[in-house]
Amino acid sequence: MNRARVVGTGAAVPKKVLSNADLEKLVETSDEWITTRTGIKERRIVSEGEKFSDLCTKASEIALKRSHVKPEDLDMILVGTISSDMLFPATSCLVQHNLGATKAAASDVSAACVGFLYGLHLADGLIQSNKAENVLVVGGEILSRFVDWTDRSTCVLFGDGAGAVVLQATKGDHGILGSRMKSNGAYADFICMPGGGSNRPANDPTQVEEKLPYIKMKGNETFKVAVKAMADVTSELLNEQGFTHEQIDLFIPHQANERIINAVGEKLKIAPSKVYKNIERYGNTSAASIPIALDECAREGRIRVGNLVLLTAFGAGLVWGSVLLRW
C-alpha cells in the first residue's frame, strides 16, 4: 500500500507584527485580557498590497525546495483556505501558475481552520489509490482582511500566514497512518461570514451598514464544542490505529486559544511537554496554524524521523478532524 509521507515543509508569514499593545489603541481591550483569555501576545498582519496567493506561493516554494520535488512533478495542489484572493478562481490555480507546476490539478478546500487537515485527508486518499504521487497541501489565511476592527471579541484573535507540505507516495511505514474528518452544519452560525456569498452578494447595498462581510463568532459556545469535538475525534483515531496517548511524541492542535489547547491535551492525557504551542506569536491563523507549527517543529528538530505526530483542528462549519502520522 502507498503511504503519503511528508518530504518537505515550508511557511511564510507577513513581516508586520501587531501586538496586544497596538490593539489597546484600536479597541477597548488590554494585553492582560488577551493574554489570560487566549494566550496571544502578537500576530502577523498583511500590509496593503500583500496578496494571499503570494504568501501561499512562498510557503510552497520553501516546502518544494526542502523536499527536492520539482514543481513540474506535482500531480495535485490543494489549498485549505477561506480567504482566497477572489471568490473564484481558486487560489490553488494561482499558486500552480506561480510555481510552474505544469501538470498539477489544483483545487481549494473550504474547511475553515480545518482546511489543511482536510487537505491532508484528501491528498492521502489520492496517494493511497495511486491517483497521485506528489501532492502539495497548503493551509493559509489572511483573515485580517475580513475582521471587523471595531469588534474586540474577534479582532484580537486572528493572524495571517501560510504553511505548506509536500506529500510523496512511499511504500514504508512512514507517512499518514490515519485520518478522521467530521462536520455538523447545524452550528453553521457559530462562526461565519454572512456577506459576500450568493445569499448576500457584495453588490447588495446593505452589506457594509449591516457589517455582513465580516467574521462573526459565538466565541463561548464555540469554545465548549471545540474541546469535546477535538478530544473525541482524536481518541477515535488513536483507538482505530491501535495507539495510546503515551506513544505520541508530538501533539499539534489548532492554535485557536491556549485554554482550548491545554484542555484538549488534558482530556487526551498527553503530557504538556509534548503539546506544541506558538499561539503567543501568531494568534489564530486558521488553516495555517498547523502547517506553520509543523514547519517550525521540523526546522527546530522537534520532530525526528520515526516520531508519531498527532494533529487536530476545529473550525467554522462546524468541521473538525484529526490526522496521525509517522515522521
Catalytic residues: 113, 254, 284
Q: Which one, 214 or 314, has the nearer CB to ligand UT7?
A: 314
Q: What is the C-alpha to C-alpha distance for residues 324 and 110, in angstroms, rounded to an integer?
A: 21
Q: Which among 218, 278, 270 has a CA at the least distance from the CA of 245?
A: 270
Q: Which residues contact 280 (CB under 8 A, 6 or more apart)?
A: 39, 40, 41, 42, 258
Give φ, ψ of 128 to 5 degrees: -60, -35
Distant-in-sequence, close-in-space partners of 177: CB < 8 Å, separation ≥ 6 = 3, 241, 324, 325, 326
> Which residue(s) pair with 45 in the sheet?
none
Q: Count of residues binding ligand UT7 (CB under 6 A)?
A: 21
Site string for ligand UT7, 261-300 (x = CB under 6 A): -----------------------x----------------
> In this complex, which beta carbon is closest to ligand UT7, that of residue 79 or of residue 191?
191
**Which of 31, 219, 278, 307 is close enough to bind ligand UT7 by CB under 6 A?**
219
Closer residue to ligand UT7 in complex, CB, 67/284:
284
Give the integer Cα–Cα distance in Å for 233 and 319.
11
Query: By C-beta, is 46 or 226 nearer to ligand UT7?
Result: 226
Q: Does 151 bind ligand UT7 (CB under 6 A)?
A: no
Q: Could you tell me which of 131, 46, 117 has the C-alpha nearest to residue 83?
A: 46
Cβ proximity to ligand UT7, 6 vs 287, nearer residue: 287
Stretch 97-116 residues interacting with ligand UT7 (CB under 6 A): 113
- Considering only residues 24 to 83 of the shown chain, the ones binding ligand UT7 according to CB under 6 A are 29, 33-34, 37-38
Q: Which single residue brings its beta carbon nearest to ligand UT7?
A: 219
| Rounded-to-integer distance, Cα 126 and Cα 7, Å | 16
Distance CA 292, CA 149 (A): 25
Shortest Cβ 121–ligand UT7 spacing (Å): 18
From 314, 322, 323, 325, residue interacting with ligand UT7 (rule: CB under 6 A): 314
Only segment of 72-80, 159-167, 214-222, 235-243 that touches ligand UT7 (CB under 6 A): 214-222
x/- contact string, 113-132, with ligand UT7 (CB under 6 A)?
x-------------------
Is the CB of 152 or the CB of 182 nearer to ligand UT7?
152
Closer by beta carbon to ligand UT7, 105 or else 225:
225
Residue 185: exposure state from Cβ atoms within 10 A (0-12, 13-18, ≥19): exposed
**327 near ligand UT7, judged by CB under 6 A:** no
Which of 220, 242, 244, 300 binds ligand UT7 (CB under 6 A)? It is 220
Rounded CA-CA distance 199/197 in Å is: 6
Binding mask 241-260 for ligand UT7 (x = CB under 6 A): ---------------xx--x
Q: How far apart are CA 232 and CA 97, in angstroms?
A: 39
Task: Please report which helix (H) or strand (E) contains residue 223, including its range.
Answer: helix 219-241
- DSSP string spanning 70-106? -GGG--EEEEE-S--SSSSS-HHHHHHHHHT-TT-EE
Chain positions contacting ligand UT7, by CB under 6 A: 29, 33-34, 37-38, 113, 152-153, 156, 191, 219-220, 222-223, 226, 256-257, 260, 284, 314-315
